[in-house]
Amino acid sequence: MEEAHAERTKTPRQKMPEQHPMVRARNFDEVPMGYTPDVAQLEAGRCLQCKKPSCMEGCPVGVKIPEFIKLIKEGDFVAAARKIKETNSLPAVCGRVCPQEVQCERSCILSKKGEAVAIGHLERFCADFERDTHQICLPVKAPPNGKKVAVIGSGPAGLTVAGDLILLGYKVTIFEALHKAGGVLVYGIPEFRLPKEIVDSEVKYLESLGVELRLNMVIGAIRTIKELLEVDGYDAVFIGVGAGTPQFLKIPGEDLCGVYSANEYLTRANLLKSYQFPRYDTPIAKGRSVAVVGGGNVAMDSVRTALRLGADNAFIVYRRSIDEMPARREEIHHAQQEGIQFKILTNPEEVIGDERGWAKAIKCIRMELGEPDAKGRRKPVPVKGSWFDLPVDLVVIAIGTNANPLLTGSIPDLKLNESGYIQTDEDGRTSLPRVYAGGDIVTGSATVILAMGAGRKAANAIHRDLSGKDEHPPEACSATM
């Protein structure tokens, strides 16, 4: 036992092969290329199969980590994928985009002594294996129970609710405002981080289970929640519309040409595929020097998109230091490798325009970190007189989003908090009967896995409230697709 343990801990954490930074900086293909089965098994062998697996405590949905890793080690990759899917219906997505370093992997016992098991990479591996070898199977659905549920928004929260309820025998319709389903997964997160094919296959999977998808339906405009419940006969409504309205800095010059919100910039590039303009009709400005303001995943995605669109200089402008950046570590690392220039401890004060109304520079001031605030985060304070101009021709503002009032404003009695997000109880019940909510529209911008976790809770609550039953969706397989 001791020996085996020593053996396991000797194996280093297996790296996932990646496209070379110089190459990938100019294409939109996915950066990490995935494990081979051998490497996955080797990595799986590093897991200690802890009796009290601390890793699971770090996962917001409690993926049965040691169990799925054991199955990988034994070579049963498909069974491993299905084990994950017992608690996480989108492992191909989460394996790629979860901030593992602050969730499951941080809690892995090995991270205390060295390097954590690459749980995310392994999760991605088995989900990809299952999909690529066409072994995704359709679970047995409970017999129809005659009840209908409307899901508004097709982001991770909405997809999870739909997937759970369809298995429990509900008729489920997803209403999506955009012309493509997936929420941030399709309009925000770029192809090089999350290939759209994966999201499409998840959506198709739901459709094959019988979920009805109605695109181009802006709820609040074409249909109100009231109408869904009272006229269209839905027994319950789940609101998963995301946060969705961009924040600006409110500094002079922000309305100049060449200043984008990250939402706009990424929607053009991803959803409307403007990186393939003019083959696709939607244009996007290609800056030579692009500054992205912010330090989260959205900022990293924007700046790396700018680079791939041909920028010579792509900057991150962030008022704190790299340690304080909320982005996933892997993305910061990838961005650094690709040659993104980090202007940290820098605060933009004005966008300066040229005579045609285009951005030509950002007036910035240097910052230093002062005393820690109540949360222990050191507050940046400006260094007196340290202004400088950063010459750019494109600026992307990626400092966060607010709640979009389009839908919530159309339901007078729905309780919102002071920032406009929907108030719910633990299980996603809103202040209105038969109306549930979850994801970014409840929490503010968060993560894919938290949105999915909220979706699962709400689905359980809907089932309990409508059927009086406390049971989870069936998991057994009937046939392969």
Partner 1 sequence: MNRVVERTELVPNVHKMVIEAPLLAQKVKPGQFMIIMADEKGERIPISIGDWDQKAGTVTIFFLEAGVSTMKLAQKKAGDNLHAVVGPLGHPAKIRKYGTVLLGGGCYGIGGITSIAKAMKAAGNKVIVIIEARSKYLLYNQEPLRLIADEYIETTSDGSSGIRGKVQDVVQFITNQEKVDLAYFIGCTFMMMNCSNATKGKHLRTLVSLNALMLDGTGMCGVCRVNVGGQTKFACVDGPEFDGHQIDWLQVFQRKSMYLQEEMLAYQYHTCRALTAQKKEERD
Ligand X SMILES: Cc1cc2nc3c(=O)[nH]c(=O)nc-3n(C[C@H](O)[C@H](O)[C@H](O)COP(=O)(O)OP(=O)(O)OC[C@H]3O[C@@H](n4cnc5c(N)ncnc54)[C@H](O)[C@@H]3O)c2cc1C
Residues that bind partner 1 (CB under 8 A): 177-179, 215-218, 221-223, 244-246, 248, 254-258, 260-261, 263-264, 267-268, 272-273, 277-283, 285, 356-357, 404-406
Residue 285 binding: pick among ligand SF4, ligand X, partner 1, none (C-beta 5-8 Å cut-off by kind): partner 1
Taking the C-alpha atoms of residue 50 and residue 56, their distance in angstroms, rounded to an integer, is 10
Nearest residue (CB) to ligand X, 329 versus 415: 329
Taking the C-alpha atoms of residue 442 and residue 29, their distance in angstroms, rounded to an integer, is 33
Taking the C-alpha atoms of residue 107 and residue 122, their distance in angstroms, rounded to an integer, is 16
Question: Cβ contacts of residue 323 below 8 Å, gap of 6+?
Answer: none
Nearest residue (CB) to ligand SF4, 88 versus 346: 88
> At CA 282, angle to CA 316 and CA 408, rounded to 5?
75
Residue 65 binding: pick among partner 1, ligand SF4, ligand X, none (C-beta 5-8 Å cut-off by kind): ligand SF4
Nearest residue (CB) to ligand X, 19 versus 282: 282
**x-or-dash string of contact with ligand SF4, 58-87, rule CB under 6 A:** -x-x-x-xx---------------------
Q: Tell me which residue of 447, 457, 416 sits closest to 103, measured CA to CA.
A: 447
What 3-state class would DSSP assign to 409? Answer: coil
Which range in 53-61, 129-137, 254-262, 309-317 contacts ligand SF4 by CB under 6 A? 53-61
Which range in 97-105, 136-144, 307-315, 348-356 contacts ligand X by CB under 6 A? 97-105
Burial of 142 (0-12, 13-18, 19+ CB in 10 A): middle
Taking the C-alpha atoms of residue 274 and residue 280, their distance in angstroms, rounded to an integer, is 6
**From 25, 31, 93, 117, residue interacting with ligand SF4 (rule: CB under 6 A):** 117
Residue 447 binding: pick among ligand X, partner 1, ligand SF4, none (C-beta 5-8 Å cut-off by kind): ligand X
Alpha helices in 209-245 (DSSP H): 225-230
**From 16, 236, 361, 448, residue interacting with ligand X (rule: CB under 6 A):** 448
Dig out the tokens for 265 from the structure: 């910039």
Residue type, 220: G
Q: What is the closest distance, in whole angstroms, from the C-beta atom of residue 450 to partner 1 in the complex?
A: 20
Taking the C-alpha atoms of residue 148 and residue 175, their distance in angstroms, rounded to an integer, is 13
**From 406, 427, 434, 477, residue interacting with ligand X (rule: CB under 6 A):** 406
Residue 119 binding: pick among ligand X, partner 1, ligand SF4, none (C-beta 5-8 Å cut-off by kind): ligand SF4
Dig out the tokens for 162 from the structure: 């739909």
> At CA 93, angle to CA 208 and CA 271, rounded to 5?
80
Residue 108 binding: pick among partner 1, ligand X, ligand SF4, none (C-beta 5-8 Å cut-off by kind): ligand SF4
Nearest residue (CB) to partner 1, 142 versus 406: 406
Alpha helices in 318-447 (DSSP H): 329-338, 405-408, 440-443
- Rg of the chain over all Cα atoms, to the nearest angstrom: 23
**x-or-dash string of contact with ligand SF4, 144-163, rule CB under 6 A:** --------------------
Could you give the C-alpha distances from 467 to 148, 231, 425, 460, 471, in angstroms and in order?
Answer: 12, 21, 19, 10, 10
Residue 336 binding: pick among partner 1, ligand SF4, ligand X, none (C-beta 5-8 Å cut-off by kind): none
Binding site for ligand X (CB under 6 A): 97-99, 152-158, 175-178, 183-184, 188-189, 217-220, 240-242, 244, 266, 297-298, 301, 328, 406-407, 439-440, 445-449, 451
